[in-house]
A and B are shown apart, each in its own frame.
Chain A
Amino acid sequence: GQNIDQPTEMTATEGAIVQINCTYQTSGFNGLFWYQQHAGEAPTFLSYNVLDGLEEKGRFSSFLSRSKGYSYLLLKELQMKDSASYLCAVDRNFNKFYFGSGTKLNVKP
Chain B
Amino acid sequence: DSGVTQTPKHLITATGQRVTLRCSPRSGDLSVYWYQQSLDQGLQFLIQYYNGEERAKGNILERFSAQQFPDLHSELNLSSLELGDSALYFCASSPTSGTGTHNEQFFGPGTRLTVL
Q: Which residues of A come within 8 Å of B, CB atoms?
A: 1, 30-31, 33, 41-45, 48, 50, 87, 89, 91, 94-102
Q: From the candidates A30, A31, A97, A102, name the one contacting B45 in the complex (CB within 8 A).
A: A97
Mask: chain B, 56-81; 1 = CB below 8 Å from A; 0 = not: 11110000000000000000000000
Q: Does the CB pair B98–A101 fall under 8 Å?
A: no
User: Are A45 and B42 in contact, with the CB atoms below 8 A?
Assistant: no
Interface size on B (CB < 8 Å)? 28
| Interface positions of B (Cβ within 8 A of A) | 2, 33, 35, 41-45, 48, 55-59, 90, 97-100, 102-110
Closest B residue by C-beta to A50? B102
A-B contact number at CB 8 A: 63
Q: Please report the C-alpha to C-alpha distance between residue A59 and residue B116 in the assembled complex, in whole angstroms.
A: 44
Say whether B107 contacts A94, CB under 8 Å: no
> By the criterion CB–CB under 8 Å, are A100 and B110 in contact?
no
Further contacts, 6 of them, CB under 8 A, given A42-B110, A95-B55, A97-B45: A1-B42, A45-B106, A48-B102, A95-B48, A95-B56, A98-B58
Given contacts A94-B99, A94-B100, contact A42 B42 (CB under 8 A): no
In whole angstroms, what is the CA distance A50 to B61 when docked?
Answer: 30
Instruction: Say yes or no: A31 contacts B56, CB within 8 Å.
Output: no
B2, B41, B100: the one within 8 Å of A42 (CB): B2
Which residues of the partner chain A approach B108 to less than 8 Å between Cβ atoms? Answer: 42
What is the CB-to-nearest-CB distance from A45 to chain B, in angstroms, rounded to a whole number? 5
